[in-house]
Structure formats: C-alpha cells, structure tokens
Amino acid sequence: MTDTQDFKDVIENLSSNEALKAAVIYKLSDPAANSLATLRAAWPMFDVDRRRQVMARLAEIGESDFQVDFSAVAMMALGDEDSDVRRHSIEALWPSDSLDTMRALIEAMGSDPSTEVREAAADALGKFVMESEFNEIPPQAGREVVDALLRTMARTPERSNLYLRALGSVSYSSRAEIAPLIEKAAMHDSIDVRAATLLSMGRYGDERWNDFILNALDDAEPAIRYEAARACGEAAISDAVPRLIELIKDNDREIKHAAIWSLGEIGGSEAQEALMRLADIEIDEDLLESIEDAVNMAAIMAGDLSMHILAGDDEDDLDEWETDEDYSNLS
C-alpha cells in the first residue's frame, strides 16, 4: 500500500505533462483507501489522453507482473466518461478473480453505451466461466456468468462482434445448451462467424469437432487457419502437432504466433523438439518471446521444469540456420 505523502507524488505526476514514471504506476497497485479516494477526486481533472495512457499502462503491466494489483483503480475507471478509458480498465481487470469484478463486467456487457466496451467485457468474462468449470468460484456465480452471456447472445445479432465474443467466453462452459449454439454458428455463411466458432469448439473441448478443426488448418482463408490453430491448443489436439509445425512457416505472422502457442499448450516430445529447433534458428525477437513462452508451457505440461530456451546465445549458430531450408527441416 502507498502512504499519503507518496501518493501526492503520484497525483502530481499524473496531472503533469511529464512522462509517466514507472515508480508512480507501481504505486497504483493496491492503494490505501484514502489514497484511492484522493485519486478518485483528482481523476476527472486529468486530461482524457492521460487517463487513457494510465489505464493502458496498468493493463500492460498487469498482464506480465502478477505481483501487482491494479483492480481497485481499474474498477474506479470503469465509471469514466471516456469509452477508451473504460475499455482499458477492463483489460487491467483481467488478473482479478473477484466476484465483484465479475459482476461489474456483467454490468458493463449489458449496459455500457460503447459497443467496444461491451465486447471487451464479454471477452473478459470467459475467465470466470472457465474458473466455474474448475470449481474455483461458487456454483451460483458460475451459473450467473453463463446466464448473463447467454442473455447477451439472445438479444444480439449472430454475426456481431459482441455475439461472437460472448460465444467464445460461454464456450468454456460444459452446459448442454452451449453445443447447439456452436454447431449453428459453424454453418454460418460469414467467414468471421465461422472463424470465431472454431475457437469456441476448441474451448468447449468436445472431440466430435476435432476433425472439423483439423480440416480448417488447411483453409484458404487466413482468419480460418488462425482460429483453427488456436483451437488446436485450446482443445489440446495432439494429432494437430505435425500440421502446426508446418504452420510455423505460414506467411501470416499471426498464424505463426497461434501455431507456436498451440504447440506449447499441446506439448509432447514432437512439439517440444520443434519449438526448441525453432528457437535456435529464429531471430525475430517477438517470435522468440512467443517461442520461449511455448517451450516453458510445454515443459510444464510434461512436468519437465529443467527445460530452458537456448536461442540467441550464439550468433554464429543463428547465421548458420537463417535459410528457408532450415525452416523446412522443422518438420
């Protein structure tokens, strides 16, 4: 918690035109009640661009640093008059397991005047649906969040982003009425709807759809291939590993990321070996970060916590493998 004197420095930095200080941002983690009250009073006086900047930064840090807790500030910002600030506040609430957070997101999904904010809330509620499946929240709360998502879908056009976000989140639920909704969406004439349905299939995790997902990995549409690759990881489809290894060579960067992520989620010796080999030849830092995350996940899935990424340690090795032929040898 932050004491009163320190928090004066926070308000001064936030209200100025100076660059946001990292130390100031971290002082917004778990603020004392009087500090939060001070921030709440000063918040409307900050420039809207500054408020957006602050919430975006909180969301970014909260995604990677699990020691911080920005939920109190994010909940406060959910009432901001600016839709971008509210949307960033929802992103900053992702780490929160509080049922108060869940209910605030349900409220935002149902009544926020901004479509983008409602979509972000529907997306964020998937975490609570998944937690209900693992009995990490009370059964009544699990029913509450699933019912709220289903109500949103019932009054929303099927091809809208809000409907698809809600479908993706509710698909973590094993309730019987979810599967027919997924099957109906899979037959839609819209590419966007069919793509989103693939992820829902992966999250629902019913093996009846495995062949459908696997076939979609070869679709001509990049959006379909991307969601199919993600779905393979969500459903842990081990038969997808050889094709996912091939998709690492796809021209679409997002598909590469999806294939790498899913290989980590599926794990197994074939996926691990492909990821480690890719780590040795890849020079793109962004992709390397994805590979490292995937290798670590694959190691966790296998119970092998001794595995480490070795990429980037030897520039000569990187130069040696920077050819199309080296990529072709991944599989």
C-alpha torsion sign, points 58, 63, 66, 70: positive
Residues 6+ apart with CB under 8 A from 289: none
Q: Is the model's pLDDT at 331 over the cut of 70?
A: no
Average pLDDT of the residues of the chain: 89
Extract the tokens encoding 187.
């037959």
Q: Is the model's pLDDT at 70 over the cut of 60?
A: yes
By the 8 A CB rule, do 244 and 262 touch? yes
Choose the weakest-confidence range: 6-15, 34-43, 258-267: 6-15
Q: Is the model's pLDDT at 329 over the cut of 60?
A: no
pLDDT band at residue 35 using 50, 70 and 90 as cut-offs: very high
At 67, phi and psi to the nearest 5? Answer: -85, -15
By the 8 A CB rule, do 132 and 173 touch? yes
Closest to 230 in 3D by CA, of 263, 273, 208: 263
Geometric angle at alpha carbon 227, from 142 and 147, rounded to 5°: 20
Residues 6+ apart with CB under 8 A from 167: 153, 181, 182, 185, 196, 197, 200
Residue 201 has a pLDDT of 97
- Mean pLDDT for 72-95 is 97
Assign residue 282 a region: left if phi > 0, alpha if psi is -120 to 50, beta otherwise? Answer: beta
pLDDT over 90, % of the chain: 73
Extract the tokens encoding 71.
């939920």
- Mean pLDDT for 92-108 is 96
- Write the pLDDT tens digit of every residue in 273-328: 999 988 888 778 888 899 999 998 988 876 655 554 444 444 343 333 344 445 45
**Measured between alpha carbons, how far is 274 from 13 in angstroms, rounded to an integer?**
47
By the 8 A CB rule, do 71 and 95 touch? yes
Residue 311 has a pLDDT of 40
By the 8 A CB rule, do 122 and 149 touch? yes
Residues 6+ apart with CB under 8 A from 153: 163, 166, 167, 170, 181
Residue 94 has a pLDDT of 93
C-beta neighbour count of 67 within 10 angstroms: 8
Residues 6+ apart with CB under 8 A from 226: 195, 252, 254, 255, 258
Hey, what long-range contacts does 111-120 have (CB within 8 A, 24 or more apart)? 112/83, 112/86, 113/83, 114/83, 114/86, 114/87, 115/161, 115/162, 116/83, 116/87, 117/83, 117/86, 117/87, 117/90, 118/152, 118/162, 119/161, 119/162, 119/165, 120/87, 120/90, 120/91, 120/165
- Write the pLDDT tens digit of every residue in 143-182: 999 999 999 999 999 889 999 999 999 999 999 999 999 9
Closest to 223 in 3D by CA, of 194, 262, 260: 194
First-residue to last-residue Cα distance in the chain = 51
pTM of the model: 0.84
- Mean pLDDT for 28-57 is 95
Q: Is the model's pLDDT at 16 over the cut of 70?
A: yes
Listed in order, strand segments (DSSP E) in 151-290 are none
Report the C-alpha dihedral over residues 139, 140, 141, 144, rounded to 10 degrees.
120
Residue 65 has a pLDDT of 87
Packing angle of the helix pair 253-266, 285-302 (nearest 10 deg): 20
Strand (E) or helix (H) holding 58: helix 48-64
- Write the pLDDT tens digit of every residue in 221-268: 999 999 999 999 999 999 999 999 999 888 899 999 999 999 999 999
Q: Is the model's pLDDT at 69 over the cut of 60?
A: yes
